[in-house]
Amino acid sequence: MSILKVLANQLILVLLFTNNLAVPLYAQRQPHLNYQIKAVYLYNFTQFVEWPETVLPADNAPLVIGVVGEDPFGGYLDEVVQGEEINGHPLSIRRFSQTEEIQGCHILFINLPDAAKIENTLDRIKGQSVLTVSDHHEFLEKGGMIKFISVANKIQFQINPDASNSAELKISSKLLRLAEIVTLSNH
């Protein structure tokens, strides 16, 4: 990894993990900056979530970040995870155009156009240890785990710990402290 990439990633990490993981959005000047920031978040989530041993049995089994629906990250998500490992597991990206294609991922960013399709996707992977992430406004209510939100032009996130617990995922208290915790009475 080049020294410039290392320094750029370190700067992004410092910005993300200060000020409650809030980073200003400059959507008018750079329309994709918010998804670049979200890509870095997805990478960072890998460091603060623990999956059951049965999900990553081999020491060098890849930890897969999946994207279903239209890919808003372009090649940036690939750049962020290129050459990276978490506890000896290389990171890789898989893209799925339809819910029926989803398999073998540990984090799934769901970018589908409507709540019914999101709910169908969440139902399909229910019972699997997959950290689900989206920025759809009804995501947590449909059973998702982490939802990106914009507050005062800064990207932050909400976590539904009941959903992650039911998938046997352990989210670090460090990450939980930085999130807005959402508990839903009907789930």
146-171 pLDDT, tens digit each: 999 999 999 999 999 999 999 999 99
Q: Using CA atoms, how far apart are residues 60 and 85, in angstroms rounded to an integer?
A: 9
Question: What phi-psi label fits residue 180: left (phi over 0), alpha (psi between -120 and 50 degrees) or beta?
Answer: beta
Q: Using CA atoms, how far apart are residues 161 and 163, in angstroms rounded to an integer?
A: 5
Contacts of 63 (CB under 8 A, 6+ apart): 46, 51, 56, 86, 89, 90, 91, 92, 106, 107
Residue 103: per-residue pLDDT: 94
Which CATH code fits 3-181?
Answer: 3.40.50
Q: Using CA atoms, how far apart are residues 71 and 73, in angstroms rounded to an integer?
A: 6
* pLDDT tens across the length of the chain (187 residues): 454 444 445 445 444 444 444 444 333 333 379 999 999 999 999 999 999 989 987 778 999 999 999 999 989 999 999 999 998 999 999 999 999 999 999 999 999 999 999 999 999 999 999 999 999 999 999 999 999 999 999 999 999 999 999 999 999 999 999 999 999 865 4
Rounded to 10°, the helix 3-16/33-45 angle is 90
Express each pLDDT in 117-137 by its tens digit: 999 999 999 999 999 999 999
Residue 57: per-residue pLDDT: 77
Cβ neighbours of 131 (radius 10 Å)? 23
User: Is this structure's pTM higher than 0.85?
Assistant: no
Residue 60: per-residue pLDDT: 85
Residue 101: per-residue pLDDT: 95
